[in-house]
Amino acid sequence: MRQYSAEFFGTFWLVLGGCGSAVLAAAFPDVGIGLLGVAFAFGLTVLTMAYAIGHISGCHLNPAVSIGLWAGGRFPANKLLPYITAQILGGIVAGGVLYLIASGKAGFDLSGGFAANGYGEHSPGGYSLFSALITEVVMTMMFLLIILGATDIRAPAGFAPLAIGLGLTLIHLISIPVTNTSVNPARSLGVALYVGDWALAQLWLFWFAPIVGAVLGAITYRFIAGNDD
């Protein structure tokens, strides 16, 4: 239960910190943090939690990462469902806390997106379903390559959280304009539930594409790393 609790609170922090920065601070008058700030916020949530709970649960914080680590031979199948359940619950609770905070401002409206992921007319940059699919698959694939490589026993010890956190930051810098960046089904579900409507209708992509990308990343890393990982 300690591992599952760690995943719950870690995913809670990722969604509250990352999506919270987008909802509350991205366009705040005069001192808004913008795209760069939101990208760093997501990276910092993973960086801080990796040091805080990495030694307890491995700090997956993401159903796609757990599945990718299983595909890469780093995680047992019998823990997949409990990990994913804990991550989903952490994301949903974080979305609820963020809603309680954000709705305290006059004029708050969920139609602004609430940091939900989307494509087509709900893509920040108006990108198509195909663009969103390719983006989420490739970004998640590269994220798993970074995770598996940084945590390889042959990698320099102690630096994995930095590589993983900065990797997620870079992923957001690339893909926020396309999909608002998911690469994490729990993050997507955690806010889509409160937006409802189009966010739930498009949610399938932000489960399907990250999982496909994670498995591809695991397969790719096993191929390039050999059998000594």
Q: Say how far apart CA 15 and CA 222 lie, in whole Å.
A: 30
Give the confidence band of 182 by pLDDT, cuts at 50, 70, 90: very high
Q: Residue 81: give the domain boundaries.
A: 2-225
CATH (domain of 168): 1.20.1080.10
Mean pLDDT, to the nearest integer, of 185-200?
A: 94
Q: How far apart are CA 229 and CA 221, in angstroms?
A: 9
Contact 7, 61 (CB under 8 A): yes
Average pLDDT over residues 88-112: 90
pLDDT at 112: 74
Res 29: pLDDT:
62
Looking at per-residue pLDDT, the higher value among 111 and 87 belongs to 87
Q: What is the pLDDT of residues 116-153, one digit of tens each?
A: 999 999 999 999 999 999 999 999 999 999 999 999 98
Tens-place pLDDT, residues 1-46: 899 999 999 999 999 999 999 998 877 666 678 889 999 999 999 9
- pLDDT at site 228: 54
CA distance 88 to 129: 24
> For the chain, how many structural domains are there in total?
1
Q: How confident is the model at residue 200 (pLDDT cuts 50, 70, 90)?
A: very high
In this predicted model, what pLDDT tens digit does every residue of 35-79 receive, in sequence order? 899 999 999 999 999 999 999 998 999 999 999 999 999 999 999
Predicted pLDDT of residue 208: 97
